[in-house]
Amino acid sequence: MAKSRNRRRSRRTSSSQGWRPPDRPYRSIASQMTPAYDRAVREGADAELRGDAAEAFRLHRSVPMFRQSTHGDHLHQLATLGEHAPGWMINRWLTIQARRPVWSGGNEAASNRALQLAVPLLYPDGIPIERIGCAHVEQVLPYIYERDWVARQLDVYDLGGLRRVVDRHASAELLARSDQIQAWCDSRIRACRIERVDAARHDPMRLVDLTSGELLDTLDLGAPVEPGQHVLARVVPTVAEPGLMLDWGLLPVSEPVAQAVAADPRRWLPTLSARIRSGDMAAGDSHLPEAALISDLPYRSWLSLVDVPLEECPDHDPAPLIAKALEHVLDLAEDGNLVGMGHRHAIGELMLDPLLDQTLRWRFVAPELGSAWRVLSEVVPDHARSTCEEMALWCAAAPEQPDAIA
């Protein structure tokens, strides 16, 4: 009976949105996995929970299908930063661990529960496949699992995923690098209005809690919001100034939806479901772009520096554009046009992108570029500063090379 219902739902979902199967065949990652790849994934995930990002990165990338994965890029960033990764970044990494059933002892049933609960509540009339960007029907549930903000919050917090990882599975060494992670486990959803956003994205972002009226100054990691906008957010503590931050981005909503959640934040999920059914909120509104680890911007937000969205990159490959983005940023820095422009978090993403490897960096080592790199080191977030400082040192030591970036 359950299988019959699922088939009916699948047909209804596809036909109600005008979706048609693509011409090309689809090969899932699971269908391409070998026992050796499975072992590498499991051993890599265990290394992640030990806090050994370098070994986890090596194992993850050893699987051919993961050579360009977002998860691998996050691992690369953590391995690059090493002990200099801020505690809040480790916390965010632990929230990712809370959703990965592949490590030894991982609970895939617990992960599936998030989808089993969230999908009927968030998509009562069927999943808008085209809207959430799926080319193949097999991608639908993985896309929702990875990109639906509500499903993520439900999984990590309300269903206890983060608490299980912190209390049972994460190593003492990894937890020692975290930042008030126990308080994150017990945090709650808030309905807020954005009160203040610094144009340079350097000073704290201020929200007002619509339930209590409390003003919340939070670490600004570049969330794409404006004053007056209403959002749902999980505001958590951090040792970084000003002492509060967003756990993993936020969800923009209309004022009526925000006020409805504010009336009883404990019932935030059934409230959203009711608003979707009433038409005040559309199914798919909680489906967001891939998220970055080191900011509150979408993944590879540095593409905004060259005005090319990730989905419009040829073959979905941003690699050919990274040199252009870096050259543009250095030009702005040389001309003194970066301060106050609000690009600091996008530039931070650029500095820590695995695509900016040593080979590419050497193209931007020249004495005349030293001052631009020093300007960048003063603009970017703390975790990206060492990259710019290192580049400035190399520029100071470099011989005259007029064609260094030609």
pLDDT for residue 105: 52
Higher pLDDT, 245 or 125: 245
Our CA angle for 305, 342, 321, nearest 5°, is: 10
pLDDT value at 149 more than 60 = yes
Residue-wise pLDDT tens digits, 130-140:
888 887 777 88
Q: How many CB atoms lie within 10 A of CB 398?
A: 16
Residue-wise pLDDT tens digits, 329-343:
999 998 887 776 789
pLDDT value at 406 more than 70 = no
pLDDT for residue 128: 86
Q: What is the C-alpha separation between 154 and 168, in angstroms, rounded?
A: 19
Residue-wise pLDDT tens digits, 395-405:
999 887 555 44
pLDDT for residue 225: 96
Higher pLDDT, 303 or 1: 303
pLDDT for residue 7: 35
Q: Which residues, 6 or more positions from 79, have their beta carbon under 8 angstroms from its beta carbon?
A: 53, 54, 56, 57
Q: What is the C-alpha separation between 335 and 354, in angstroms, rounded?
A: 27
Residues forming beta bridges with residue 207, ordered by sequence position: 194, 216
pTM for the model:
0.88
Q: How many CB atoms lie within 10 A of CB 340?
A: 12
Percentage of the chain with pLDDT > 70?
89
Q: Which residues, 6 or more positions from 176, have their beta carbon under 8 angstroms from its beta carbon?
A: none
Range of weakest confidence among 218-232, 307-321, 378-392: 307-321
pLDDT for residue 398: 87
Range of weakest confidence among 28-32, 86-90, 186-190: 28-32
- Tokens in use for 354? 């695995």
Residue-wise pLDDT tens digits, 270-293:
999 999 999 999 999 999 999 999
Q: How many CB atoms lie within 10 A of CB 226?
A: 8
Residue-wise pLDDT tens digits, 51-70:
999 999 999 999 998 988 99
pLDDT for residue 332: 92
SS3 letters across the chain: CHHHHHHHHHHHHHHHCCCCCCCCCCCCHHHHCCHHHHHHHHHHHHHHHHCCHHHHHHHHHCCHHHCCCHHHHHHHHHHHHHHHCCHHHHHHHHHHHCCCCCCCCCCHHHHHHHHHHHHHHHCCCCCCCCCCCCCCHHHHHHHHHHHEHHHHHHHHHHCCHHHHHHHHHCCHHHHHCCCCHHHHHCCCEEEEEEEECCCCCCCCEEEEECCCCCEEEECCCCCCCCCCCEEEEEEEECCCCCCEEECCCCEEECHHHHHHHHHCHHHHHHHHHHHHHHCCCCCCCCECCCECCCCCCECCHHHHHHCCCHHHCHHHCCHHHHHHHHHHHHHHHHCCCCCCCCCHHHHHHHHCCCCCCHHHHHCCCCHHHHHHHHHHHHHCCHHHHHHHHHHHHHHHHCCCCCCCCC
Residue-wise pLDDT tens digits, 156-188:
999 999 999 999 999 999 999 999 999 999 999
**133 HSE (CA, 13 A, CB side):** 15
pLDDT for residue 59: 96
- Tokens in use for 220? 């600004």
Whether residue 42 contacts residue 100, with contact meaning beta carbons closer than 8 Å, is answered with no
Whether residue 45 contacts residue 63, with contact meaning beta carbons closer than 8 Å, is answered with no
Burial class (CB in 10 A: 0-12, 13-18, 19+), 280: middle
pLDDT for residue 336: 81
pLDDT for residue 142: 83
Average pLDDT, rounded, for the chain: 88
pLDDT confidence bin for 312, thresholds 50/70/90? confident
pLDDT confidence bin for 107, thresholds 50/70/90? low
pLDDT value at 1 more than 70 = no
Average pLDDT over residues 318-329: 93
**192 HSE (CA, 13 A, CB side):** 28
Question: Where exactly are the structural domains of the chain?
Answer: 1-32+86-293, 301-397
Burial class (CB in 10 A: 0-12, 13-18, 19+), 48: buried
